[in-house]
Structure 1
Amino acid sequence: MYESSSELAENKLLMLYVLKSIKNPISNTQLTEIILENNFINYFTFQQYLSELENSKFVEYREANDKKLLILTEKGDTVLSLFKDRLSPSKISIVDEYIKEKIESIKKELTIHADYTIGTNDSFIVDLKAIENQALLMELKLTVPSKNQANSICNKWKENPSEIYTNIINVLIN
């Protein structure tokens, strides 16, 4: 029993450590990916631990630009600083390396939004957003006649948002 409670504590601390290391609010999906891709905890256990951390007020969700994002609370940060030495150095190293490699794509996911909905007369409404430091840089809504066009626009926006944003700004300014 002691071994499993020790493991439980380490896994929860690891989740808090990931949130602290990223230094930005992230989605449940992003935190899940980090934990699962590194084989730290299985999905169902992870979700249970996350729920327990939220109930204990160690993490909380915040609404930001139509997304629910996780943050480490002050209480969670205090607990992490008190018990960080219980985390294995190898797991800390894995998390640090993973975040170093993936931080740009994590930030991009949080700052770039592309989605479409069905409009009137069989058209599709494409909604594109660019967000920086939680401030809206640009929001563009377009109506296109086909789902393929809507999908293509969303994919191109996600692939190269800064170039598209710059081109739009240049066209409007020049």
Structure 2
Amino acid sequence: MYENSTELAENKLLLLHIIKSVTIPISNTQLTDIVLENSFVNYFTLQQYITELINTDFLKYVEVNKKKSLQLTQKGENVLMLFKDRISPSKLNQIDEYIHTKIESLKKEFSITADYLPANKDSFIVNLKAIENDTLLLDLKVNVVSKKQAVDLCTKWKHNSADIYNKILNALINE
């Protein structure tokens, strides 16, 4: 399955480096996107690596703002610090450049949330939330009459949250 143990170790160290470099909570899906977009390993190998890193206590799942995120453990940080030089400089540069260009969209994915729950048989509660630097900017709950409205609100919020937030703020502050 693996070309050799050096490649296996380098790939796992690279995952630890990615999680440390992102500096914000990162979901399994976001990590998967980063790794696949850079063609480091295939999906199934990546999921196996993540499981192995969790089982060896180098990574752990934590819940942040009701989302599961991967986090480096102290043991993982120590291993990365000791063996980072085993990651090829070209892969390090590729990842660092990628993260630099994508960090804002990663932050937005994490800090803007929208979900809905049935309130009763005829309505749904939509919860729209914006968080910036661990500060809650907006937490709005709205009751709507259909699932379609709930889905539409969530979609609009995720795609245009800054504009909607500004409109809400202006409507509340200005007459």
Percent of paired sites with the same residue: 61
Does structure 1 conserve the Cα–Cα contact (< 8 Å) formed by 2:125 and 2:150? yes
* SS of residue matched to 1:138: strand
Offset at 1:92? 1.0
Summarize deviations over 1:120-145 as a string: whole Å, max 9, x none: 24323211111122333221111222
Question: Structure 2: which 5+ runs fail to align?
Answer: none
* SS of residue matched to 2:71: strand
Q: 2:108 maps to which residue? A: 108
Q: Which amino acid aligns with 1:86?
A: R
Q: Which amino acid aligns with 1:171?
A: A
Q: 2:22 maps to which residue? A: 22
Offset at 1:84? 1.0
Alignment of 1:61-140 (within 5 A): 61-140=61-140
Q: 2: distance between equivalents of 1:107 and 1:16?
A: 19
Offset at 1:3? 4.7
* SS of residue matched to 1:26: coil
Q: Which amino acid aligns with 1:173?
A: I
TM-score of the pair, normalised by structure 1 = 0.91
Q: 2: distance between equivalents of 1:143 and 1:25?
A: 30
Does structure 2 conserve the Cα–Cα contact (< 8 Å) formed by 1:59 and 1:73? yes
Q: Root-mean-square deviation (CA), in Å?
A: 1.8
Q: How many residues align?
A: 174
Q: 2:31 maps to which residue? A: 31
Question: Structure 1: which 5+ runs fail to align?
Answer: none
Give yes or no for the alignment of 1:6 onto 2:9: no
Does structure 1 conserve the Cα–Cα contact (< 8 Å) formed by 2:2 and 2:8? no
Q: 1:41 maps to which residue? A: 41
Offset at 1:75? 1.7
Offset at 1:106? 0.4
Summarize deviations over 1:90-123 as a string: whole Å, max 9, x none: 1112111211111111000100001223332432
* SS of residue matched to 2:4: helix
Q: 1: distance between equivalents of 2:121 and 2:28?
A: 36
Point out 4+ residue stretches in structure 1 off by more than 6 angstroms.
none
